[in-house]
Amino acid sequence: MQSNLITLEHCFLTGTDTEIGKTHSACALLHTWRSLGFSAAGYKPIAAGGIWQNGTLVNDDAQRIHAACSPGIRIEEVNPICLKAAIAPHAAAKDENRSLRLEPILAGYRAIAPRFERIVVEGVGGFRVPLGADFDSADLAVALGLPVVLVVGLRLGCINHALLTVEAILARKLTLAGWIGNTLSPTMPRQADTIDSLHQLIPAPCLGILPWSLAPADAIAALKPSI
């Protein structure tokens, strides 16, 4: 069963782990929504792993999301908090003597939400990554109150990781709007069997299976509903 992305509006995107394709999936959603005629923007409130460009610290994933957005949003709005070290955000912030707080992150989302018909908020790492002294990515999802889309990086062990993450999402009484499978290797053994198991075990529709490709057209083909 494939969900209709026409009816999915603002959502919180989380993953089964780090480096499993959340940003790739966020860009795929943005490209697909825009192909359907919606104005769409991404919000990656915290990014760890920045590089200096023209005197500004920028993150490669944030730049990719910004490039996939509809016109009318600045990269500073897409990614208001960019940390230099490519480590856990709370540790990177500590190194910079910064304090990550929930309210400014929510304020950043509220500032852009009325301007676009569709918004994807990308979390950090997996669902329970610490963000500050007293909150983590799950707390952010609860505070936003948005439907959750889970990105499953297709590799050995992903079924266990996916089901544990689903339990954590549902335990917080959040709506699991759907899941996206992201192909991490073109030679994964028994990938079709893994996908079949995820279809059976995750109590939410599959929004699509992203192929081993970075081309926006391939992502749109994988996610775009029949209309």
Measured in degrees and rounded to the nearest 5, phi and psi for residue 166 equal: -60, -45
Looking at residue 201, its pLDDT comes to 98
Q: Any catalytic annotation for residue 94?
A: no
How many CB atoms lie under 10 A from the CB of residue 222? 20
**Of the residues 22, 44, 94, 224, which is catalytic?**
44
Helices (H), the chain: 22-35, 60-68, 75-78, 89-95, 102-112, 137-144, 158-171, 191-201, 216-223
Q: Is residue 2 part of a domain?
A: no
Q: Is residue 28 part of a domain?
A: yes
Looking at residue 2, its pLDDT comes to 45
Calpha distance 183→161 (Å, rounded) = 15
Q: Is residue 1 part of a domain?
A: no
Cβ atoms 11, 177 nearer than 8 A: yes
Q: How far is CA 7 from CA 36, 119, 206, 216, in A?
A: 11, 12, 14, 21
Residue 151 sits in which domain range? Answer: 11-223
Q: Is residue 3 part of a domain?
A: no
Cβ atoms 118, 10 nearer than 8 A: yes
Calpha distance 83→80 (Å, rounded) = 10
Looking at residue 5, its pLDDT comes to 85
**Which value, in Å, is the radius of gyration of the alpha carbons in the chain?**
17
Q: Is residue 53 part of a domain?
A: yes
Instruction: Record the pTM.
Output: 0.95
- DSSP label at 173? T
DSSP 85-148: SSS-HHHHHHHTT----HHHHHHHHHHHGGG-SEEEEEEEEETT-B-SSS-BHHHHHHHHT--E
**CATH code where residue 123 lies:** 3.40.50.300
Looking at residue 226, its pLDDT comes to 58
Q: Is residue 4 part of a domain?
A: no
Q: Is residue 6 part of a domain?
A: no
Calpha distance 83→184 (Å, rounded) = 26
Q: Is residue 193 part of a domain?
A: yes
Low-confidence ranges of the chain (pLDDT < 70): 1-3, 226-227
Calpha distance 126→17 (Å, rounded) = 4
Smallest Cα–Cα separation from 141: which of 152, 126, 156, 160?
126
Angle between helices 102-112 and 137-144 (to 10 degrees): 40
Total domains, the chain: 1
83, amino acid identity: L
